[in-house]
Structures are given as structure tokens and as C-alpha cells.
Structure 1
Amino acid sequence: MSTIIIDSLTVTDDTLEATIRPSSDLERFFTDEPFRTSYDCTIETVPEGVLAIPVLAHVCPVAWAQGADVYVDEVDASFARAVEDVKASLLSMYDFLEGGTLYARNTTTVDPPSSGQSGLLFTGGVDSTASYVRHRAAEPTLISIRGWTITPDARDDEDWNHLRARVEGFADERDLETAFVESNMLSALDHPMLLAHYKRHVDGAWYSSVGHGLGLLGLCAPMAYARGIEDLYVAATHWEGIDLEWGSRPDIDDYVRWTGTQCHHDCYDLTRQDRLELIASYVEDRRSDPDASRLELQTCNARMDGNCGECEKCYRTAVGLRLAGLEPSAHGYPFADEDYHDIRSSFENGDWILGLDERYMWEDIRDAVRETEPSSPAERAFFAWLSDADLDALVAESGSPLHHRLLRAGARNAPNGVYNTVYPVWNAAKAGARRVR
């Protein structure tokens, strides 16, 4: 019988650690590392049922993929019910998920500290900035997490420092509190092996397609309890009308809860261009406020200390800013009319690896283009091309490199002993892909 046992749950001041013990058939999906998460506040008074949430939020989806049961000594009763709701959503989304049951010796409900505070997962990108603008009257605590796009590895220290400085600067200018969470969740799980097994079933990777809604929100549980955060917001990536298989959606995030905290999938009613329009209104309304007028976004796929201005996401954001009436160079993106030619060339030459996400986002831009008067001949030529471009074909012609697909297939079918031998090769390939994406 396939099982995963969570034990040895310990807390030392601001750090949570737990041991994950999978049955032998599931060992390949986990490493030997204990699950570990650190906060910038003490969590020693947080109840054990809430402390179990971060590790359960990451282990349960892996268990559901294999039809395994999960065992833990104690879990918060509200979260135990939330797990069932999230499981139902994911099973309805993905045929390859089999389900499983969470068993706890004790399910508990306690009286949480109540302060009426709210929190917002925040990176400084378009989505989280729009969510801040929408909820700014509540003065949410800005929460940033290290462990997914920025790993706990020392090589990512500089990126993490850049993110922290940017978020702290944004918060200081608006008199907001911040919270920083660091976790090894994707190295306690064997994320490359999960990717090897399940990439063929999803449009993105394991964490983006399956785990990150429940996972990132669950990481915040001990900190949210300690701080008395009642409403926790995570900004939507997609919007109404886009029915993509994705790990963060209203029918996942809105179900996540624990004693004292309700989570919310935010701004799902706005397209990405709508969110840029919301940010533009915020900037325009506060044109005399230097904190608002110098607002810089960070969305780059290549660097964390600003935006390169040349990757697909930078170009996409710059075009969206122009359509919203903002000058990209004033908000973090070097951009000139000549760049329109480069965008078209990159599309037509297949320079970018695109998925359905990008297809919908460029379609959103194309819809806005049809209602916009071009400001220059270069812009007019690009808008005319984009209006007639076959986005489906452009996305279909892009994809991950062949050698990455072969590595995934090989790892998927290798015995554990063989996999342990070839893992360094796969990991190096993964790191190389990360550096050039």
C-alpha cells in the first residue's frame, strides 16, 4: 500500500522542520532532506495542527498522483476539510491523479489571534501589484517566498537579496509590513523526478501546473497564524474565460483555509491588460506622489535586479504598459519603437518557448490593440501584424528542447538505483535551462 508519513515535526524559534517517510514505491519522488521552512517571526506558539500545514500542502498532491494515503499526528480541522475540497478540484482537472486520504490522529480547532489583518503574496510583478492596488486600503502585509523561482541554493542568494530589497522598498514607501518565507519544499520533494513523470500530462511543470496554489498558501500558515492574518490573497495568473489546467485557480485557492485564515484567488475578474490598466489608473491618480509615479514592475524571466527588456515577458509587459498609457521606460522596461520589429522577428523565428499562457496573454494584448490608435509607424506596423497573426500556430511551433524531453522520459522509466546515478546529469541540464530561459 502506498503511504506517506509525516513525523518528527519540530519548531526552533522561527524554523519548522518535518521528516517525510514515503513507502518504498514512492521514494523516488522525495529526497533525503527534511522539509524545512523559516519565517521572519517566531512560530513557537503556533499550534501543531497549523504547523503541519506547510508540509502537508506539498506532500498531498504528490500522494494524490499515486493514489497514496498521508498520515500525520495532528492537523487543523479547517485545513483538513480544505484538503478534501482542493483534492476534488485537482482530480476533476487532471485524469492522471488518483486521489488518496489524509489521516490524522487528531484534528484540532483553536482560537487564533485576531487582528483583522490581511496578507498578499507579492513579487512586484503585474499580477501582485494589481492585487495590491485593489486592496491597498487594507494595507496588506506583503509576503515573499523563497523556494520556487528563487531556490534556497547559495547561487540564488543574490536574486533573493534583490527581491527582498525591492519588496522592502515598495513597502517602506507605502508604510506596509513585509514577511519573508524561505523553504526547501522543492528540494525535499524530488521536483525533477516529478517533472519527469508528469510533464507529459501538464502544460507547465509539476509545481506550476499542480502544486503551487495549495503549496505557496500553505507555506504561509504558521506565519499567518502568528501575525493574525485573516485574509490571505494570491494574485491570479489567468482570468475568467481561460480554462487552463493550472495549480492556482479560484477552485483551488478559494478553498484553502485554516483556523483564523481564509485564502483568496484575487483579480480573476481582470485580464492581464485590465490589471495593467488598473496600475496605470493608480499611477495617474497619484501623479504628484513620487512613490506612485516611479513605481517599477519586475517581471523578467532572465534577471531579478531589474528587467532585461529583451525576453518575451519583458516585451509583453512593455507593450501592455504602452497600451495602458504608461511609458515602459518609466516603470522598469527599456523600450523603443525599434523593439516592435524584434518582437515580431522572435515570434516568427521561434526564438521563444511559448505555452498556452503566452498564447492567451498575447491574444489579450491583441484585443486591446484593436481599440488603440498607434502612436508611430513602427507601432502601427506591429499592431497590424499582431491583429492578423496566427497565435495558435506560433505557440505550436515552439517547445522545450528535445534533449530535455528525452531526459525526462529516461528518468521516468529508470529504476531508483539508475536514477540516482543519472540524477546529477539531469539536474545540470535543468540548471542550464534555468540560466537561459
Structure 2
Amino acid sequence: MRNQNKIVLDPPKVRGGNKIYCHFKCSGKVSKYFNENNFYMKLNANVESVPQSILIIPALSNICPVAWVTGTDIYVEEIDQEFLEALNTVKKSFQKLYPKHSFKGDIKYKKIKENKGYGKKKSGLFFSGGADSVASYIRKRHEKPYLLTVLGADIPLSENEGWSRVKSHTNQFAKMHKLTPLFIQSNLRSFLNERNLNKSYSKHGLRGWWGGIQHGLGLVGLSAPLTFIKGMNKIHFASTPLLSHNNTLYSTSWGSHPSIENNLKWGDTQVALDGTHLNRFDKIGIIAKYIKKNGSNLQLRVCWESKKGSNCGKCEKCARTMANLLSEGLNPSNHGFRMNKNLLKSMKKNKKSFMKLNKPQWKILQKKLSNKIPDADSEYYDFCQWIVKVNFQRKRKDFFS
């Protein structure tokens, strides 16, 4: 019994009005998947009035997947009734997405609480400033959603300069559209031993812990305390395109999926995964139409390579987004990008590796750009010319990503 897997969560504590701490104890082999035994988050709002059954949701959202995949039981003092039902459904969803892995373990609780009456028909939107979240804002702008931006996901907790840029970007976007920004800082990634998790479980269709399991449930759960104090009955989470070349939804090894987010709920709040029927071109098209109609200098932040809170201008995703904007008749330099002088050289040198993950998108961009080549004096002229002329050889069936 001494080596039995077990995770015991203490009741969460609020310090300074805006910091939530949840200490937990592990026993058994599950211990090796945690770097520390404290989950915390800091908000730009006072959450002292939030009940414990809601305060525990952020920690549970990030601990539960580890418990499930290791077959570990979790012990808590109290839990929200709606969220408990949601977790049981989401566990089954992960099992269907990853049938070669086993998702077991139960939540043991002393009290189950019903949290009703706080919803005021307000909504929130997780906002990174990327194409997905900006397109979702445009689609949901009539709701005037709160913008929820997180430190500790793609931007590390230690990256003060990057976080300053991200906050500035979100504040500017919020001011431009008369919205209220809400900022969340959390150790949701650093408290886990991602290296050990990837070593043990990145196989049989699961490509990586953060992307394959954690980021949908883990990020969404962070919003629970804010939904209670702000009266949000809906949280929108922008989808990563999950469409095949035939625009049909397919099950993919990705931690964000309709069977995950759309089943999440607590108290009066329901989560919605937005834009699952849209591919990357659809979303850039929505953004381009909005920019042209409103004369906006809207800035995008799409880069996952840079930890500095800006677009590096030299990775595949930056290059693909720049090409996409150009294909819509927009100048990327007006919307958060710059033409790195080494980008084209790198693309030519590493064409095979640079294009292989998103070959279908590059082939479509090749056709779209052929009618949108900028003037010869444009910084993007050589970039577009090479894309149009390069020989893409499609050797296997691929999907949009």
C-alpha cells in the first residue's frame, strides 16, 4: 500500500486577495511527474469571495490528466457538482482520443457543492493575440467578452520582458475594442515534470504532454475563479484547426478537441470550443475582412518559437502567416511581422523540413499568391516569388494543421 498512487489536495488558499495556492501530496510513482507540490495562480482581480469548490478547479484541471494516465486516485475536500460530471466525461473523451493509453483513477471527495446564481450572461475569451483567438473575437465581438491572457503557457514565468510585451499587446487590443483584459499567471506547466511525462507517454498517438493532453483542459480551468466573480456563464476557447483536406472533423492527437472543451462546465458556466469548422485560411480570411472594413492596424502574435512575446519572423509559422496575409492583399509589416533577411535563405536551404508539416497549406498559398505578388520594391517580393515557383511534391495524404 505504501507505493500506491495517490494525490491528496489541500483546500486552496487565497493570499493577498488575488493569489491562489493549492498544496498537494503525492505517493507512488506518480510523484516523478511533478517538479513541485504547489499549484498557484495570480490574477488581476480579487477572488477572496470565491468558494473553495470553484477555487480548486484550476489545480484539478492540470493535475487530473496526470492522475488519469497513471491510474491515480485524487482526494479533495469539496468539488463543484457540474465540474465533477465534466471531468468524468472528459476522461472518457481522452480514452477515445488515445485508445492505446489507459485513463483511470477516480476523484474522492468529502463534499459536493452546487454553485448557482452567479451567471450574468457575460462571456470570456482566452486571448493570445494569435490568428485563432483574434478570429474568435471577431466572431464573438457582439458579446463584448472579457479577454483572458495567460503567463506560464507559451511564455515562461521567468520571461518578464516577453510577458510585458504580451500584456501590452492585450491591453492595446482591449482598449481599441473597448474590452476588459484579465491576466492570469500560473505555474501550470512548470509544476509538472514535462520531460518525464513525455518520456513515459509520448507514444501510441500522443505526441507530447502539453500539446497532446494538457493545454485545452489545463488552460480553460484557470478561468473558473474569474467566471464566478465576473458573472461569466460562457467561456470561449479558440480551436486549433481540426479539419481534413475535405473540411471534415477528424480525431487527432491534440489536447484541444470538441469532445474536451465542449464538455467542460462548472456552476453556471459552460465552455465552448470556437471555430472547429474553420481552417487556417478561413480564419485569416475573417481577420483580413475585418481589417479592410475597419481600417484596422490590428496586430497578430502567432509565434511559438519566440519566448519574448513577439513574432520571430523566421520560423515556419511566422512565414506561413505572412504568406497568408499577403495572399489576402495585406502587408504583414502592418500587423506584427517583419521580413527577416535570413528567412528566405533558411527556407531555400531547409525546404523539405520547413514545409513538411503544413505542405497542403503551402500548396494552396502558392496558388493564392500567384495572383497577389507585391511590387518589385516590396520587402516581400522575393519571398513571394520563391513560394510561387518552388516545386512542392506531395507524396502522402496530409491534413491542415
Q: What band does the TM-score fall into relative to the shorter chain?
A: 0.7 to 0.9
From 363, 367, 370, the counterpart of 1:370: 367
Q: Structure 1: how far apart are the matches of 2:176 and 2:83?
A: 35
The residue aligned with 1:405 is: none
**CA displacement, residues 363-383 of structure 1 (integer Å, 9 cap, x when unaligned):** 134235435533448535523
Alignment-mate amino acid for residue 106 of structure 1: K
Tell me, yes or no, if the aligned pair for 1:316 and 1:362 is still in contact at 8 Å: no
Q: Structure 1: how far apart are the matches of 2:238 and 2:167?
A: 19
Cα distance 1:386–1:181, how it changes in 2: closer, same or farther (>3 A)?
farther
Superposed displacement of residue 303, structure 1: 4.7
The residue aligned with 2:190 is: 187
Aligned pairs for 1:213-232 (under 5 A) are 213-232=216-235
The residue aligned with 2:60 is: 56
The residue matched to 2:271 in structure 1 has which SS?
strand
The residue matched to 2:190 in structure 1 has which SS?
helix
Superposed displacement of residue 113, structure 1: 1.8
Residue 100 of structure 1 pairs with residue 105 of structure 2: yes
The residue aligned with 1:46 is: 50
**CA displacement, residues 185-206 of structure 1 (integer Å, 9 cap, x when unaligned):** 2232222221222223455421
How big is the alpha-carbon RMSD for the aligned residues of Structure 1 and Structure 2? 2.3
Q: Structure 2: how far apart are the matches of 1:280 and 1:129?
A: 11
Alignment-mate amino acid for residue 83 of structure 1: L
The residue aligned with 1:144 is: 149
The residue aligned with 2:256 is: 248
The residue matched to 2:350 in structure 1 has which SS?
helix
The residue aligned with 2:139 is: 134
The residue aligned with 1:35 is: 39
**CA displacement, residues 218-272 of structure 1 (integer Å, 9 cap, x when unaligned):** 0110111111111111111122335321001111011111011111111111101
Residue 15 of structure 1 pairs with residue 12 of structure 2: no
**CA displacement, residues 346-378 of structure 1 (integer Å, 9 cap, x when unaligned):** 223x4x5x8xxx72x441342354355334485
Cα distance 1:180–1:202, how it changes in 2: closer, same or farther (>3 A)?
farther
Tell me, yes or no, if the aligned pair for 1:121 and 1:235 is still in contact at 8 Å: yes
Q: Structure 2: how far apart are the matches of 1:150 and 1:305?
A: 7
Q: Structure 2: how far apart are the matches of 1:147 and 1:204?
A: 20
Superposed displacement of residue 295, structure 1: 0.9
Tell me, yes or no, if the aligned pair for 1:37 and 1:182 is still in contact at 8 Å: yes
Q: How many residues align?
A: 379
Aligned pairs for 1:387-406 (under 5 A) are 387-390=392-395
List, as ranges, runs of 4+ consecutive aligned residues in structure 1 with deviation greater than 4 Å. 336-342, 389-393
Q: Structure 1: how far apart are the matches of 2:149 and 2:190?
A: 18
Alignment-mate amino acid for residue 233 of structure 2: E
Superposed displacement of residue 165, structure 1: 0.7
Q: Structure 1: how far apart are the matches of 2:177 and 2:28?
A: 51
Tell me, yes or no, if the aligned pair for 2:155 and 2:309 is still in contact at 8 Å: no
Residue 272 of structure 1 pairs with residue 269 of structure 2: no
From 116, 122, 128, the counterpart of 2:121: 116
Superposed displacement of residue 180, structure 1: 0.4
The residue aligned with 2:378 is: none
Q: Structure 2: how far apart are the matches of 1:49 and 1:375?
A: 54
The residue matched to 2:86 in structure 1 has which SS?
helix
From 298, 308, 313, the counterpart of 2:301: 298
The residue aligned with 2:323 is: 319
Q: Structure 1: how far apart are the matches of 2:362 and 2:251?
A: 18
Superposed displacement of residue 116, structure 1: 1.4
The residue matched to 1:370 in structure 2 has which SS?
helix
Question: TM-score, normalized by length of structure 1?
Answer: 0.81
Tell me, yes or no, if the aligned pair for 1:370 and 1:387 is still in contact at 8 Å: no
Q: Structure 2: how far apart are the matches of 1:47 and 1:152?
A: 27
Tell me, yes or no, if the aligned pair for 2:14 and 2:20 is still in contact at 8 Å: yes
**CA displacement, residues 375-410 of structure 1 (integer Å, 9 cap, x when unaligned):** 4485355234355354779xxxxxxxxxxxxxxxxx
Cα distance 1:386–1:42, how it changes in 2: closer, same or farther (>3 A)?
farther
Cα distance 1:237–1:170, how it changes in 2: closer, same or farther (>3 A)?
same
Cα distance 1:227–1:307, how it changes in 2: closer, same or farther (>3 A)?
same
Alignment-mate amino acid for residue 41 of structure 2: T
Alignment-mate amino acid for residue 374 of structure 1: N
Q: Structure 2: how far apart are the matches of 1:211 and 1:336?
A: 33
From 263, 281, 287, the counterpart of 2:271: 263
Alignment-mate amino acid for residue 256 of structure 2: S
The residue matched to 1:282 in structure 2 has which SS?
helix
| Comparing 372-381 and 8-17, the one that deviates more | 372-381
Q: What 5-or-longer segments of structure 2 have no aligned partner?
A: 245-249, 374-380
Alignment-mate amino acid for residue 293 of structure 2: D
Superposed displacement of residue 340, structure 1: 5.3
Q: Structure 2: how far apart are the matches of 1:270 and 1:258?
A: 27
Q: Structure 2: how far apart are the matches of 1:362 and 1:228?
A: 43
The residue matched to 2:30 in structure 1 has which SS?
helix
**CA displacement, residues 304-358 of structure 1 (integer Å, 9 cap, x when unaligned):** 353222111110110111122212122122239996564343223x4x5x8xxx7
Q: Structure 1: how far apart are the matches of 2:309 and 2:55?
A: 33
